[in-house]
């Protein structure tokens, strides 16, 4: 999906597309922008941005904004949930190759979207494993 605004001199374009539909130049520009903006950006962080829907804002040929929404599965109360936007109060952990491992440094920093599921925000929440930052 593309949206354009501006006059003949400047055109701002919003592109919304899945990772699979981004061309190499768009992916490279998004990665470069994130490395410019975030001092602690890693290759693993970039990998976490892939596999979902991206929003890229172009000012002419310059990329000036990027966001990505990536689906993750969370385990809560024996059920698998999709990730979302209510602040969690309970303990966090990750399902690693060696089993479930607590991630106390992430307690209080995770948001979920109940989306109709009964969610106890004080109960343990476990995410799938990935390299780099778990959450």
> Which residue spans of the chain are classified as CATH 3.40.630.30?
2-69
Identify the pLDDT of residue 127: 86
CATH fold group of domain 2-69 = Aminopeptidase (3.40.630)
In 3D space, the residue among 126, 123, 51, 70 whose CA is nearest the CA of residue 96 turns out to be 126
Identify the pLDDT of residue 123: 85
Identify the pLDDT of residue 57: 95
Query: Do 82 and 119 touch, CB atoms closer than 8 A?
Result: no
Entry field: residues in the chain: 135
DSSP H or E segment with residue 47: helix 43-48
Q: Which residues of the chain have pLDDT under 50?
A: none
- Around 66, how many Cα atoms within 13 Å sit in the side-chain half-sphere? 22
Phi, psi of 109 (to 5 degrees): -115, 10
Identify the pLDDT of residue 125: 86
Query: Do 95 and 126 touch, CB atoms closer than 8 A?
Result: yes
Query: Is the pTM above the cut of 0.75?
Result: no
In 3D space, the residue among 65, 64, 86, 66 whose CA is nearest the CA of residue 74 turns out to be 86
Identify the pLDDT of residue 46: 94
Identify the pLDDT of residue 27: 96
Identify the pLDDT of residue 4: 61
């Amino acid at each position: 999906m593309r949206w354009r605004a501006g006059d003949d001199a400047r055109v701002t374009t919003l592109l919304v597309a899945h990772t699979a539909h981004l061309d190499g130049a768009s992916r490279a520009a998004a990665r470069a922008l994130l490395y410019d903006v975030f001092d602690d950006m890693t290759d693993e962080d970039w990998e976490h941005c892939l596999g979902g829907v991206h929003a890229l804002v172009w000012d002419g040929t310059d990329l000036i904004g990027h966001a990505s929404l990536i689906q993750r599965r969370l385990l809560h109360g024996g059920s698998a949930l999709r990730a979302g936007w209510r602040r969690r109060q309970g303990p966090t952990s990750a399902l690693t190759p060696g089993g479930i491992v607590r991630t106390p440094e992430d307690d209080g920093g995770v948001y979920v979207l109940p989306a109709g599921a009964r969610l106890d925000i004080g109960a343990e929440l476990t995410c799938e494993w990935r390299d780099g930052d778990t959450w």
